[in-house]
Structure 1
Amino acid sequence: MKKEQLIAQLKQLNATELADFVISLLGEDRALDLRIESLALRSNPEGLTRQVKSQIQSIKRGRRFIEYGESFQLASRLAALIDDIEQVILPYSPKNAFELTDLLLFIHGSVMNRVDDSGGVVGGEFLRANVLWLKAAKAWGNESIDWLTKIYDLVAQEDYGVLDALLPNTHILLNEQQLKQLAWRYENEIRQQFKKEGTSNTTSRPTFELIKLSSKLHQVAEALADPELYEHATLLLSAMPNSLQIKSIVEQYVLFNQPKKALKWLDKPWQADELTRLQLLNKVYELMNDKPKLREVREQIYQTTQTAEALNELIELLHEEEKQLVLAKAVDEAEQCQTLYIAVDKLLYLKQYEKAQNLVLSRLDELARTFYSRLTDYVKVFEKQHCLLAVVACYRVLTNDILDNARSKAYSHAARYMKKLIELDNQIKNYQSLETAEQYYQTLQELHGRKRSFWSKISD
């Protein structure tokens, strides 16, 4: 049953039936028991507060290393705690909500030190708690607390990147004057660090400590919505910023609708990454509504990339006669393009479905190197346009990829693709340059005949 259907069926059950089912689950899994207990306490904020605090302390006391696969369970547990604090405890008692979130952020070091968070899910929940911490502090409104110093001290203790959402959102809690004081602290620390190291922003590459301090000043600039401070923070670190640093500066000016100030960083070509400069210019001229400059930049981007996206942006600025000339030329350019996915994407955009199919059939080796998501998108378009040979080619590539790499967890997908191929065979009379269905099936048997779990799924 599909998820949507299951949800609809569950909603038809009465409260007693659902309660009895939930009760029957008690004792099967400790993590599930805690979730059920939290649900039961949602009408009792005081009891939920005690339960959440107990869970946070339990997580802190943990000593066992959490492997990658288990990290998702821990992240789910943290997410449930954060939801309980935000949705139930915060409206009832901002003070309790703040204290619980503060405790949660306090334990981040001991948690991150014993978890393989390669998926970023545990850190992601701590980042989500950053904003809740600020919201709860704001709602509590305790004026006896020096919030600026408290934030400064909290950030200073952090080494895992899981408090990186705190400083950019400090405008939730601090006023403009306080944010400027915080910025001054970090700027002063940068200058002191240069003095301590005996270096400057012109003589050597910045150390890790300087990069960390500069990042904090950048984040305060974001909270202040001040791109000039962001630029200043970059120049404090490096008098001659590289293209990545310039890109960040320009993006801040664009974000806060100051395109003219961004232009001074884009007036010369970038040898290493000219396309990025052109894409930034595209955003800047769009904000300035400078149509002649915008057209010039978009023509350069299209000539550089030849993508359907760039073509679409260019023709938006052309008169009808020019548009038709460019579109007609684009078909030939696509057929001659060396990169298959760019060529196919463009032909599909131009509604040249047969030409796109012919290109796919003539370049099957390249099709096999195309990303999964793009292939599934192609299937949808080609099937809708009844370009069935291209659909077959895509399904075969998807199937081959799973079987060649013995991805047993995806065998159900490969079996589904095979069933589609069997259906398509009834509609296709001539496979042209492709193997016939019988030939392809025989090839699979020769290469993957021993993968019984796959073949069993086809007959299901």
Structure 2
Amino acid sequence: MARRAAAKPAASTVETPAGAPGTPAAAAVPGRRKGARRTTPSPETLAALGPERMIDLILGETARNPAFKKIVSAALAALQGPEAVAAIVDRRLAALEGARGYIDWQKRRAFTADLDATVSVVLDALRPLDAGAALDRLVRFLAGADAVLNRVDDSLGITQGVYERAAEAAVEIAGSLPAAEAARFALGLVPRIAAEPDGAFGVVLTDLIPRLGAASLAELDAALAGAEVPEAAGRAPEWQGRYRRSRLIRIRQDLADRRGDADAFIALEHEAAPGRPDRVAVAERLLGAGRAAEALDWLRRPAPKARVTTRADLIAGVPDPDVPDRARIVAEIRALEALGRREEAQALRWGRFAETLDREMLRDYLAKLPDFEDDAALERAFALAATHPQPYRALGFLVGWPHLPGAARLVRARRASWEGERYAVLAPAAEALEEAFPEEAAHLYRCLIDDILARGRAHAYGHAARYLAQLDALGRRLAPGRLEPEQAAYREALRRAHGRKTGFWSLVAGA
């Protein structure tokens, strides 16, 4: 209450524009609602408060907000020079490095605000005075990321976001340094990355590579190639060391991309995944180098024999052989187009569409056809979708294209086969069909409701109540005399079968 009362005189001081003493602001500005006040903070409105009032506001906020107090203290320290600001940051970093206590969810917000204020001090107070000192503090801050995140309840990733901000800032500062200094900074990261390949410094170096001078790339690649990866302590499985080395190789591949050296990338790919190189990644580099024939050869090589995917494979990023090979098809089409083999490229597009009902593949196919042939091809595509062995994929395609008459026919043709548990397809399809095909939409809504109630999915009762309301609206608005009697009978059947599900019926009444 006291704070609100203190603010009133300040608000009144900004009602009179400068240069017009005693004239209300509403009268000075045509169209402004009478009595409106300029209360949005801006340089002009804050200047009108005067220095003493601003000082009161700042002191009040520093008493309530420790993070804001830290920022104000750093701004005052900046008047003394970069050493004074660096001392404030160093004290906080030392406290973080020595802390061991667990930060639970109740303390997480204040702790994260404090971390964010530390980064703000480095960027807003220290960097303008000494960019090198600011970069050193960001490196020290990022070096403690794992220790901090391991003792914080950060299920939402909010604290992690502060470290991501610091990493982005480190890249931006390092990238703005003279070329020789940026190169030295990048080289200094190599031992840290070798020791902890999954840490923040691997991301920093990867993002910094596009900003480095071309002359420094070879030296950095040599440093990464010669980096010694520490052996895992104790009885750690052998794959951990292999994984660490593979992370260094992936950074070297980024360097190869920067140099435009497709052969170096391929050699490193063989080293990273012996016997199982990523054929699409290799082909993309060859295509970029104008070597389409070699790219096509890579793409058409027999895939390695499928084997059981191990935990090491998942961690190391080895491609799962069961993942659909759309990327390979797209790269193969690019190679064929580059070689002038357009009919083969079209055949691949149609084959991919026929198998998966890939909308974008069909659009590309139609775009490449001669004039006046696309209409017939599109009808052929719709006919193929109507008989596709995967009805949910077919319904999703027809709704998404959109071809609603075909979607409605499919709903009718396979009326008995729709299962409400496939709500990700049925719910948007029902909504899309409401206007033009209310009977088909109603059928899908009933499938969704029946599944939720039959399985007793209480967490989805709200959706079921909404679907029932949609059914009522369909009967009244779009199909009076046809859907309304049917809907009344359906509601009665729901009452008989699920009358005891009071949670659902209370939501229906509320709706």
TM-score by length of 2: 0.65
Match of 1:211 among 235, 243, 252: 243
Question: Which letter does structure 2 place at the counterpart of 1:165?
Answer: V
1:275 and 1:304 in contact (8 A); partners too: no
Residue deviations 1:206-249, cap 9 Å, x none? 9432332232122133145244322111222455334xx22333
Residue deviations 1:409-435, cap 9 Å, x none? x76655555544443342244349988
Runs of 5+ consecutive residues of structure 2 not aligned to the other structure: 1-36, 47-53, 80-84, 231-237, 307-320
Match of 1:200 in 2: none
- How many angstroms apart in 2 are the aligned matches of 1:416 and 1:39? 49
The reply to whether residue 14 of structure 1 matches residue 40 of structure 2 is yes
Match of 1:132 in 2: 169
Match of 1:110 among 117, 124, 147: 147
The reply to whether residue 157 of structure 1 matches residue 199 of structure 2 is no
Match of 2:295 in 1: 262
Match of 1:387 among 437, 441, 462: 437
Matched residue count: 429
Residue deviations 1:65-92, cap 9 Å, x none? 4579988987777567656655675456
1:98 and 1:137 in contact (8 A); partners too: yes
- Alpha-carbon deviation of 1:254? 5.2
- How many angstroms apart in 1 are the aligned matches of 2:114 and 2:493? 47
Larger Rg: 2
- Please state whether the residue corresponding to 1:187 is helix, strand or coil: helix
1:217 and 1:233 in contact (8 A); partners too: yes
2:420 and 2:426 in contact (8 A); partners too: no
Match of 1:359 in 2: 410
Percent pairwise identity: 17
Match of 1:370 among 399, 403, 422: 422
- How many angstroms apart in 2 are the aligned matches of 1:358 and 1:12? 60
The reply to whether residue 184 of structure 1 matches residue 217 of structure 2 is no
Question: Which letter does structure 2 place at the counterpart of 1:229?
Answer: A
Question: Which letter does structure 2 place at the counterpart of 1:262?
Answer: A
- How many angstroms apart in 1 are the aligned matches of 2:448 and 2:60? 42
- How many angstroms apart in 1 are the aligned matches of 2:494 and 2:106? 36
Residue deviations 1:9-41, cap 9 Å, x none? xx9843489x9999999888xxxx355547767
- Alpha-carbon deviation of 1:301? 1.4
- Alpha-carbon deviation of 1:310? 2.5
Superposition CA RMSD, Å? 4.8
- Please state whether the residue corresponding to 1:240 is helix, strand or coil: coil
- How many angstroms apart in 2 are the aligned matches of 1:399 and 1:160? 46
TM-score by length of 1: 0.71
- Please state whether the residue corresponding to 1:426 is helix, strand or coil: helix
- How many angstroms apart in 2 are the aligned matches of 1:181 and 1:310? 43
Taking a change above 3 Å as real, the CA distance of residues 126 and 26 of structure 1, as seen in their structure-2 partners, is: closer
Match of 2:269 among 234, 255, 264: 234
> Which has the higher relative contact order, 1 or 2, with Cα contacts under 8 A spaced 6 or more apart?
1
- How many angstroms apart in 2 are the aligned matches of 1:85 and 1:100? 7
Match of 1:63 among 82, 90, 100: 100
- How many angstroms apart in 1 are the aligned matches of 2:239 and 2:385? 47
1:418 and 1:458 in contact (8 A); partners too: no
Residue deviations 1:384-410, cap 9 Å, x none? x433344445555666677756564x7
Runs of 5+ consecutive residues of structure 1 not aligned to the other structure: 1-10, 194-205
2:418 and 2:447 in contact (8 A); partners too: no
Matching of residues 218-297 of structure 1 within 5 Å: 218-224=250-256, 225=258, 226=260, 227-242=262-277, 245-253=278-286, 259=292, 261-270=294-303, 275-276=325-326, 277-285=328-336, 291-297=342-348
- How many angstroms apart in 1 are the aligned matches of 2:69 and 2:508? 40
Taking a change above 3 Å as real, the CA distance of residues 64 and 444 of structure 1, as seen in their structure-2 partners, is: farther
